A and B are shown apart, each in its own frame.
Chain A
Amino acid sequence: MKPLLLFSLAATLSAQVSFDRIINANKEPQNWLTYSGTVLGQRHSLLGQITPENVKNLEQQWAWQARSLEKFEATPLVVDGVLYTVQAPNDVVALDAATGRPFWTFNYTPSRDARVCCGRVNRGLAILGDTLFMGTIDAHLLAIDARTGRLLWNTQVAKAADGYSITLAPLVVKDKVIIGTAGGDFEVRCFLAAYDARTGKEAWRFNTVAGPDDPRSTSWTGDSWKKGGAAVWVTGSYDSDTNLTYWGTGNPGPDWNGEVRAGDNLYTNSVVALDADTGKLKWHFQFSPHDEFDYDSTQVPVLADMEWQGRPRKLMLWANRNGFMYVLDRNSGQFLLGKPFVKVTWAAGLDDSGRPVRPPGSFPTPQGNRLFPAMLGGTNWYSPSYSPKTGFFYIPSNDNTSALFSREGFPRNVAPIGLGAATLQQNVRTEDEGYGAIRAYDPRTGQRKWEFKMSDLTMGGILTTTTNVLFSGGREGYFFALDARDGKLLWKVPLGGQVSSGPMSYSINGRQYVVVAAGNALVSFALRQ
């Protein structure tokens, strides 16, 4: 009787993902429990089997082909040997993480009202207990049984017909599931909201556009706040010491015509720090006030504790689409450092408070105005990485330019590139016309330590490991490994499809795997046995 009880207890423990496990995810690096690996947003694995010396011996273990032609932007979760991911737009699959063989598929057909600006995509799942959570492109939040793929509850977060959607991976904090709404290009007022993980009932809501109920509504003219945008479409982070959750917000609407919305347009293009229990705003920092360039601040807030000018400090590292890299004090929101990581001409620099200094003529015009970085940004939603081992902050970077046009009615933007697709695109550009790169920075100084150039732009995220291996990919369809210390190329493999997501790592029975999505497939690698 006693052995049976022990067996039963062990099985229960291995299946249940408690919040305690989530905030201590670094104690079980064999699993990948949140979008960025941990709630700190570092996308850094403590698994050490793959090293700079042996990474050349990686070989493919399995591939799983999605029945979808959308971009594969989801980062999988792995829990005790089971891999969960999303087949775009909103099917959920559970795979054997060692073989890629499916256990079950949950199919979801979004409402025909669903409309999205930039692809019917999804970036991943969250898990708590035995329940998976997914936002849908028709703005619902679903709870799904992780063992069976059965739907447990379905909550409408907002009306898809109004232009709302959800594309990010949710973040679980305690007993709540936090999501944000996309749709900032469709004249809506976006928000963050938390839902009871058990019932799907809304617990709190924070409007990311300051309306009349907010003292900062004066940052909008007239009723422009009603269509203010500020979408949230990339997963935030969480600090359990302060119970603050951090989220980046998107561009104001309309995107490139700022005349109808004079003012700073809070809380667009900002990071907001919210009490995770109540959704109350603790502080905010706006990266790009009164944005007219579509420079969303929808990046992963990377939380890092390090020595800052002689004393330990809790920091937030942020590589922004506007081309600047920031270091903030994450307890107070104080601006500590900001430097461009790509060529920037829309701003001459940052003042002492971190506010951009705008040179004359740096705005969209009816004739078109060529500015750096391009509309696609110096970076975008692609996951950066912070390695406590090297102390470097790694940024998927694009040195690129585009001409910005302001027009009456819906504005037009002409960029020399598209928004990307799952299939590879031929590249006939030279570096002086734009290129992608992995860049490593010392966050203490803002000094670039190295870069690895690609010929084409990149839309891939970055994974670092405790053994100083950096994995990434890009629009060229390669998946590659660099030495995180100096950027030296260690290994590469052409996967035949664009890498549009961030790699992740897990282990099973002591064997480390690295997984990346390329084209429409998920591909797994491990060392040759």
Chain B
Amino acid sequence: MKMKLVCIMALACSAAFAQTGDAARGKAVFEGKGQCFTCHRINGNGSRTGPDLTDIGNLRKQEQLEKSILDPDAEIDRQNRTYRVVTSTGETISGRLLNMDAFSIQLLDSKERLRSFTKSNLKEWAFVEKSPMPSFKDKLNAQELADVVSYLVSLKGIEERIAP
């Protein structure tokens, strides 16, 4: 109650703060309705094309996570930028930039294939300004958003597995 009052007074309160999230429900939304594994990876499950979120709870605050879900273009980490090349034959390939030098470019493409290109065989190469992630502003309600954020905050790294 006190929290809600402070939020209203500050007029800067996030939706996630206003709702109490449940990490277990958030996990279900993440893996189901949200289809987040299409791009993201957690503890070895999901796609490698987007940022691995296994320890995102150590790296991002609750407010930052919510902002990224509602407005993915607002802040894109350098290492998470999408890179796009266009070959001399007109083929466009996007993915995660792994390395670049004066003569060549190495990517993990959107199908998780390691690709290497020589610049002399490319027409264009550049980072993509926008995030490939869609906004979930109109796809999740406030409770679902709070649940997903709570789930992400709970992700603190790879689970230790001790051999018996």
Residues of chain A having any CB pair with chain B under 8 Å:
426-430, 453-456, 474, 476-478, 492
Contacts and interface: CB of A to CB of B under 8 A. Distances in A.
A478 B99 contact: no
Contacts of A429: 100
A428 B103 contact: no
A456 B101 contact: yes
A172 B126 CA distance: 50
A428 B98 contact: yes
B33 interface: no
6 contacts: A428-B78, A428-B98, A454-B101, A454-B102, A456-B102, A477-B101
A430 B101 contact: no
B79 interface: yes
B99 A427 contact: yes
Contacts of A474: 102
B100 A478 contact: no
B97 A476 contact: no
A455 B78 contact: no
Contacts of A428: 78-79, 97-100
Q: Is the interface of B mostly helix, strand, loop or mixed?
A: strand
A455 B101 CA distance: 5
A455 B99 CA distance: 10
Contact of A426 (B78, B99, B126, B127): B99
Contacts of B99: 426-428
Interface string B57-83: 000000000000000000000110000
Q: Is the interface of A mostly helix, strand, loop or mixed?
A: loop
Contacts, number: 31
B79 A478 contact: no
Contacts of A426: 98-99
A478 B102 contact: yes
Given A428-B99, A454-B101, A476-B101, 20 more contacts: A426-B98, A426-B99, A427-B100, A427-B101, A428-B78, A428-B79, A428-B100, A429-B100, A430-B126, A430-B127, A453-B102, A455-B101, A455-B102, A456-B100, A456-B101, A456-B102, A474-B102, A476-B102, A478-B102, A492-B103
Contacts of B127: 430
A90 to B, nearest CB: 32
A428 B101 CA distance: 9
A221 to B, nearest CB: 41
A474 B102 CA distance: 10
A478 B78 contact: no
A456 to B, nearest CB: 6
B77 to A, nearest CB: 11
A428 B80 CA distance: 10
Interface string B88-124: 0000000001111111000000000000000000000
Q: Which of B99, B100, B102, B127 neighbours the largest number of chain A CB atoms within 10 Å of its CB?
A: B102
Interface in B108-147: 126-127
B81 to A, nearest CB: 8
Contacts of A456: 100-102
A291 B97 CA distance: 37
Interface string B26-44: 0000000000000000000
Contacts of A453: 102
A478 B100 CA distance: 13
